[in-house]
Structure 1
Amino acid sequence: MSTNKHAVIRYQTLDKCFRNTGKRYFIEDLLEACNASLFEFDNTTEGIRKRQLYDDVRFMESAQGWSIPIEKIKDGKRVYYRYDDSSFSINNQPLNENEAEQIKSAMLVLRRFKGLPQFEWVNELLPKLDKTFNLSNQNNEIISFDTNEFLIGAEYISDLFTAIQNQQALEVSYQSFNSTVPQEITFHPYHLKQYNNRWFVFGKNDGYDNLTNLALDRIKQIDHASISFDNSQMLDFEEYFEDIIGVTKPTEAKASKILLKATTQLAPYIKTKPIHGSQKKVEETNNSCTFSIEVIPNYELNKMLLSFGSGIEVLEPKHLRLTIKKLLESSTDIYN
């Protein structure tokens, strides 16, 4: 159990002791109560000593804590502790500054999910948190995320998310951009991934032996399938995406070292936002910066390299250099 959880247990225990007017809690009694509560939640704990207990009380008295109204009453040579107002409790107090800042930070992260199916509750929760704890000091948003609330297919995220959780096979009506009519697919969903503001679902298509990915913006309808879930193509998706850019992974392809040369104008952007996690600087001169990545060449890599225009040159491998050259030539042809 983490130290933070232990601290919460101690603070709650001390709060109960300080509110109890039927018993006098000397420091030894407080220590015994705290250690008993800690052991109840974590029987491997060694408990705390008096120094930690004194630190806890000082924190609870401070403005960073709850500014508790503690009385230290002498009884002979000893002192017992209690609230001077028995109705006081740390659970009834407004958020302290640290707690408010933590909730504000959490709210900023939650805003990223606004508008997505399965996260409708975020739209209701944020205003309630804001009003309840009076967290906003300004009306303007201070952070924005690169999302598309009007993306076609986003309405299927909720159903796919639930199907993956419950290992439920689906009947999917899917129409690719190259087809004039939808295709009916029996699909076993494993993983959802977002790339370039589009969503994709990976899973087992009963019509194929290999892993299949479907773009959500091309899904027409989803229904539950009355068959057992097939997880024969399930894999570690973190490892699966490790050596590719985007979502396309050519069958049986292997990662290769790609050598790229960027102009001095583009180089700072490549350095601060690497094309891939494997990126390494090879050489830097006054006119250019050469670096390498190790990935499987695919459609998304080509599009990314083309997006840099004349700012980047593919040096190796030769087949990728020729591919990019042909794509650039075909682009210039339409302007002739």
Structure 2
Amino acid sequence: MDVSKSAYSRYRVIDKMLKNTFRPYPTLLDIQEACERSLDKTPSLDTLEKDIRNMKQSEVFEAPIVYCRKNLGYYYSNPNYSINSIPLTDNDISSIKEALDLVKNLGGGNRINERFSDAIQKILATYKEEFPDSDTKRKIIQTDYVEGAKGYENFNILFNACKNQNPISFVHYSYTKREFKSVIVHPIRLKEFENRWYLIGYSEHHHSIRTFGLDRMYEVVRLRKKYIESDSDEIERYCTAIYGVYPIENQAQQIITFLTSISITNYFEAYPIHPSQTAEKNESGSCYFTINVVPSMELVRMFRSYGSNLKVVYPLWLKEQIKSL
């Protein structure tokens, strides 16, 4: 059972009330008043009754809540119980180990893994758990991450700059122009695409949101200056309404239709290239796919990689651009 943040906040109030030995056997009205004081919200009595039922039935909490008919209130049949001290089950520990194994094998390098591993090891140490050699040495999940890839040494400072909205400066190297340039950026988010990491942020030099590859960033420094916030709709268009990371200049979000041959249609059906993707399959097995995205250089490159098995139908400018390349 998934627990929402608001529900868990109420669970904590209920737990605190049931643990309070100075005011035993709280009623639903008592709990409702406590929620109002602690959460500035007044849940209905039906909601609180449902919360208590969920706490009792949940495999996570298994709360020993009992209604006392004599005292007309609720209590824990086990006075030592608290949702703040729920033990991990064997399945919980197994899941944590699997999650750690997954993170260790994801692109992102050692700096992300170290922070996550240390936190998880502290949790497991509480339960006297550790990873057997067989678990750590036998690789079950493998990704394309190549040890030694550039840029990850700045991951922590960039992550914190995005999180805390700290402007940064760095020296950016252009592979195409073969030149270095100092830029000031107001970081928005880090994005991974095809096992490469990029920083998206508002560039003071360009007066717009831009993308910078981590492998091309040097001498990253946090700055003490006011953070420039970007429009949230513009951020979502730039970051989400796109396949890839580098939008084609002066092209807005638009409908793109392409036709796939029978030999590659199944790949696009199994792995949509964007959440907006829709399909209209022909009797022959070929298929018209439609996406609503901001055109990008990565999209053009991907289309061209399929050669004669993929043809852009609309828009015409993109169809001609792919033909001419």
TM value normalised by structure 1? 0.70
Cα distance between partner residues in 1 of 2:190 and 2:55: 48
Measure the CA separation in 2 of the matches of 1:190 and 1:79.
Answer: 53
- Residue 270 of structure 1 deviates from its aligned partner by 0.8
Pairing 1:94–2:87 present: yes
Q: Indicate the SS of the match to 1:266.
A: helix
Amino acid at match of 1:128: K
Alpha-carbon contact 1:14-1:30 (below 8 Å) kept: no
In the TM superposition, what is the alpha-carbon distance from 1:53 to its structure 2 partner? 9.6
Determine what percentage of the aligned residue pairs are the same residue. Answer: 23
- 1:169, 1:224 within 8 Å by CA — same for their partners in 2? yes
Residue 42 of structure 1, aligned match among 31, 39, 43 = 39
8 Å contact from structure 1 (residues 262, 311) kept in 2: yes
The residue aligned with 2:124 is 130
User: Structure 1: which 5+ runs fail to align?
Assistant: 328-336
- Which of 136, 151, 161 lines up with 2:159 in the alignment? 161
Q: Which of 187, 191, 194 does residue 193 from structure 1 map onto? A: 191
Q: CA deviation at 1:301?
A: 0.9
Please give the secondary structure, in 2, of the residue aligned with 1:130: helix
CA displacement at 1:153 relative to structure 2: 0.6
Structure 1 residue 281, shift from structure 2 partner: 2.0
Q: Tell me, in whole angstroms, the C-alpha distance in 2 between the residues paired with 1:121 and 1:99.
A: 20
- The answer to which of 89-98 and 260-269 deviates more is 89-98
Q: Distance in 2 between matches of 1:156 and 1:63?
A: 38
Q: Is the 8 A contact 2:61 2:86 kept in 1?
A: no
Contact 2:202 2:230 in 1 (8 A): yes
State the shift of 1:149 in Å: 5.5
* Structure 1 residues 100 and 165: CA distance shift in structure 2, 3 A: closer
2:300 counterpart of 1:307: no
Equivalent-residue separation in structure 1 for 2:101 and 2:284 (angstroms)? 41
Alpha carbons of structure 1 residues 33 and 154: separation in structure 2 relative to 1, 3 Å: same
Measure the CA separation in 1 of the matches of 2:56 and 2:15: 9
Say what the alpha-carbon RMSD is for the aligned residues.
4.5
The residue type equivalent to 2:288 in the other structure is: T
Distance 1:234 1:63 in 2: 40
Contact 2:107-2:195 within 8 A present in 1 as well: no
Counterpart Cα distance in 1 of 2:55 and 2:261? 59
Q: Deviations over 1:272-317 (max 9, x none)?
A: 2222233222341224112222334331111111333443222344
Answer yes or no: is 1:202 the counterpart of 2:200.
yes
CA contact (8 A) 1:254 1:296 kept: yes
Counterpart amino acid of residue 153 in structure 2: E
Match of 1:211 among 199, 209, 215: 209
Task: Decide whether the 8 Å contact of 2:13 with 2:34 is kept in 1.
Answer: yes
State the alpha-carbon separation in 1 of the partners of residues 259 and 216 from structure 2.
Answer: 36
Secondary structure of 1:175 counterpart: strand
Matched with 1:4 is 8
**Equivalent pairs, count:** 313
Question: 2 CA distance for matches of 1:210 and 1:43?
Answer: 40
2:174 to 170, 173, 176: 176
Residues 218 and 85 of structure 1: is their aligned pair in 2 closer, same or farther, counting only changes over 3 Å?
A: closer
Partner of 2:261: 263
Q: 1:247 to 1:48 in 2, by over 3 A?
A: same
CA displacement at 1:206 relative to structure 2: 4.0
- SS state at 2:12 partner: helix
Residues 116 and 149 in structure 1, CA contact (< 8 A), matched pair in contact too: no
Following the alignment from structure 1 to structure 2, what is the Cα–Cα distance between the partners of residues 189 and 224? 11
Query: What SS does the aligned partner of 2:243 have?
Result: coil
Q: Distance in 1 between matches of 2:116 and 2:19?
A: 32
Residues 306-331 of structure 1 deviation map (CA, whole Å, 9 limit, x = unaligned): 3334432223444433433444xxxx
Shift of 1:266: 1.6
In structure 2, the gaps of 5 or more residues are none
Aligned partners of 2:51, 2:195: CA distance in 1, in Å?
52
Structure 1 residues 245-254 or 307-316, which shifts more? 307-316
Amino acid aligned to 1:238: E
Which residue of 277, 282, 285 corresponds with 1:284?
282
Report the secondary structure of 2:174's partner residue.
coil
TM-score (norm 2): 0.72
